[in-house]
Amino acid sequence: MLIAPPLSLYIHIPWCVKKCPYCDFNSHAQVGGLPQDAYVTALLADLDRDLADFGEALADRPLRSIFFGGGTPSLFSPDAIARILDGVGKRLSFDRDIEITLETNPGTVEHGRFDGYRGAGVNRISFGVQSFDDEKLHRLGRIHSASDAARVVGEAREAGFDNFNIDLMYALPDQDLAGAARDIEQAIALAPTHISHYQLTIEPNTLFAARPPTLPDSDAAWDMQEHCQQMLADAGYAQYEISAYAQAGRRSTHNLNYWEFGDYLGIGAGAHGKLTDAASGTIRRRAKQRTPRAYLDHAGAPRATASTVEIASLDLPFEYMMNALRLVDGVPMNEFPQRTGLGIEAIASTLAAARKQGWIREGLEILRATDEGQRFLNDVIAMFLPAPADDGRRPSA
């Protein structure tokens, strides 16, 4: 039986000071002044459109988390962030312990802004550090230095933030194991509550794709991952997802909602959302206009939405597994029918094949990949794809 899961909100701020050569996110280099007031107005109009379209499916569902992503949300002033959160709060209720995260670039946060962000309602910061090696930061196109990162973490802590994440990448251009370990050591020294540690990969349509740097080979990258995982574990950061490590009680509520196949509204240029309507038995995805100009031009109008699709039942096993199997501890097996509306029989034969391969743990209560399954997770998830003849999608009414 399909049951509406927890609800989150993602807010996309698409501008950066400059585009990093590895980045394939929907981000755009800032040219001239930022249209903060117009964009805040557009975001709230965008939310109003979603509420009008999905109102019945959103009734009595408080927000579990809010995440400001980008781009570089810290380019926006505390007053702009406060306007957004005030507007959201007038339209939707908040869980009492709601998590509200703001992504920040250590090179864009002016002294004193953290006080303003905290006053606006933000209670968690995510720092896009990526490395503590200035040479590596330069090659990654980052605008901050290692000392900038340490400074802004200290400023956030002085402003009262006791819950923050540090993003780090490994397998960087010409990086060795010792260099990856030094990055972990310096991150741990700053005592974040959460560390995201993920491998740099070359994505299409990026500067690195056009002019690839020399990256460590797959064996060297695996050695870095294993070594850094152990360092993090020894320091009290438990791995709970492929690239996420947290102190006790400090897992990311927002990201967990994604991985547990929860629902989320997405507002902003290029933002994506997913919403379950238990009454009609449908799960829909919605995407917004990708470019800031098109998004602003059509704010609140139907054309601000680029697409709305209903996820066909044939696609649901893959969509679910693509998220849930990333969790190290897995998910309760009974959540599959609750989150998809499908019976366990829809995945029984594929689960049996994956268990025979040694990629899914035995047992009927918890759905969880083995250590070998985690290493070859893309192959495991691909087993749940529908047959090629089924396109699995249809436009929503």
* CATH code for position 338: 1.10.10.10
Same domain (yes/no): 231, 83: yes
Spatial separation of the C-alpha atoms in residues 92 and 61, rounded to whole Å: 8
Q: Return the pLDDT at 389.
A: 56
Q: Do 241 and 363 have their domain in common?
A: no
Contacts of residue 223, defined as CB under 8 A and 6 or more positions apart, other chains included, come to 177
pLDDT at 245: 98
Q: Is residue 210 part of a domain?
A: yes
Q: Do residues 252 and 320 both lie within one domain?
A: no
On whether the CB atoms of residues 63 and 94 are closer than 8 A, the answer is yes
238 and 320: one domain?
no
Side-chain half-sphere CA neighbours of 380 within 13 A: 28
**What stretch of H or E contains 393?**
strand 393-395
According to the model, what pLDDT value does residue 387 have? 76
Cα distances from 354 to residues 106, 259, 321, 385, in angstroms, run 43, 20, 12, 13
- Tell which of 226, 257, 288 closes a domain: 257
- Evaluate whether residue 26 is within a structural domain: yes
Beta-strand pair 28-29/15-16 = parallel
Peptide bond preceding 71: is omega within 30 degrees of 0, i.e. cis?
yes
CATH number of the domain at 226, please.
3.20.20.70
Residue 142 CB neighbour total at 10 angstroms: 23
Angle ∠(27,31,36) on CA atoms, nearest 5: 75
Pair 252, 372 in one domain: no
Q: Does 173 fall in a domain? A: yes
Would the CA dihedral through 168, 174, 177, 182 be positive or negative?
negative
Task: Let me know if residue 118 belongs to a domain.
Answer: yes
Q: Tell me what pLDDT residue 278 has.
A: 94
Identify the domain containing residue 81 by its residue range.
7-257
Q: Helices (H) and strands (E) in the chain — how many of each?
A: 15, 17
Selection from 122, 132, 137 nearest residue 178 by Cα: 132
Q: How far apart are CA 125 and CA 107, in angstroms?
A: 14
The answer to the question of residue 281 being in a domain is no
Alpha-carbon 270 to chain mean position: 14
Indicate whether 273 belongs to any domain. no
Residue 304: which of 61, 67, 52 has the closest Cα? Answer: 52
The structural domain count of the chain equals 2
In this structure, what token pair is assigned to residue 102?
């703001």
**Nearest by Cα to 160 from 199, 118, 189, 215:** 118
C-alpha angle 157-161-166 in degrees, rounded to nearest 5: 80
**Is 185 within a domain?**
yes
For residue 341 the two structure tokens come to: 């509306």
Q: Are residues 230 and 349 in the same domain?
A: no
The distance from CA 324 to its chain's CA centroid, rounded to whole angstroms, is: 14
Say if 285 falls within a structural domain.
Answer: no
Write phi, then psi, for 347 (nearest 5 degrees).
-120, 5
Q: Which of 117, 119, 29, 127 is nearest to 77 (CA)?
A: 117
Residue ranges in the chain modelled with pLDDT below 70: 389-397
Query: Among candidates 226, 212, 207, 98, which has minimal Cα distance to 163?
Result: 98
Helix, strand or coil, per DSSP, at residue 386: coil
Torsions phi, psi for 28 (to 5 deg): -135, 130
- pTM greater than 0.85 (yes/no): yes
